[in-house]
Structure 1
Amino acid sequence: MDLLLHLDRTLDELDPPRWGDPPADATHLVRKVHALRRVPLRELRPADLRTLVSQQVALPYVVPLAVRLLAEEPLIDAYFYEGDLLLATVNVPATVWTLLPQLGEELRAVVSALPESAHADLPRGAAREIDRFIAGLQRNS
């Protein structure tokens, strides 16, 4: 899949079925995810990507955007803290990396290139999550 061909399209267009309006009593997060599915991919900001990745929405379309961003700035502070998009992305289900093995390898290279000092600034347990991601890729290779 050539992601660049889809940047003007929305997740509702690319990942059927289209989602209707959220229920009237929906949480802020649910309303936000519904709204993000109607935004063209090229307009999704880092915080939007972190939200969609962590909520596991349309991952075959969202993960490539996240990995592309992480290749440029691995510890980007998408919304909560430095490295939040990275941690959300390394925690996607292993089936995503089976579907997108080249992106998995690209992200593994990015993560492996981080200096040890970068791990100290991440939340407790982050190094373990990153190690689990790398080990999972190695098992699937």
Structure 2
Amino acid sequence: MNLPHNWQQKTLETLENKNWGDPDEAPTGLVKRCLQLRRKPLDTFTIEDLRSMIGQQIGLPYLIPLAIEQLKENLFAEGDLYEGDLLHSVLKVDTVFWNDNEAYWQQVNVLIQPKLQEIAEEKFDTVKFYHCKYAR
């Protein structure tokens, strides 16, 4: 995917040109949080913000590259849940995304190869990640 100029300073709402609604009218706390994050500039996202949105499969073409940068610094980067929760969310991304984004899959695969034993010990689910067409 060709990312637009200055994409990291923009919001998901701007990048996708879609308004999903007013966070104050959201039916649940999770929906409210996701709607709020869609209005937050990507360059201000925390690890927890990335984990939350990636876990909901929202904005993946923009958030996976940001997550990869965080994982390069610390493969077991931690949001608000537990050590490695960002990686866990990334590995659970739907296979369809990975099939359409080989470069991102390759980058994550290179990062996790040396740590597969630790990932297995933590019982992180890698099925969707390794079920894509590039893992064969």
For the criterion TM > 0.5, the same-fold answer is: yes
Identity %: 28
What does 1:1-141 align with in structure 2 at a 5 Å threshold? 1-2=2-3, 5-22=6-23, 24=25, 26-114=27-115, 116-117=117-118, 119-120=120-121, 122=122, 125-126=123-124, 129-130=125-126, 132-136=128-132, 137-139=134-136
User: Normalized against structure 1, the TM-score is what?
Assistant: 0.84
Runs of 4+ in 1 over 3 A off after TM superposition: 22-25
| Deviations 1:19-71 (CA, angstroms, capped at 9, x unpaired) | 22046362111110000000111000000000000011111111111112112
The Cα shift of 1:103 comes to: 1.1
**Structure 1: gaps spanning 5 or more residues:** none
- 1:104 corresponds to which letter in structure 2? W
| Deviations 1:65-99 (CA, angstroms, capped at 9, x unpaired) | 11121122111111201111111111111121222
- 2:48 corresponds to which letter in structure 1? A
Aligned residues: 134
| Cα root mean square deviation, aligned | 2.0
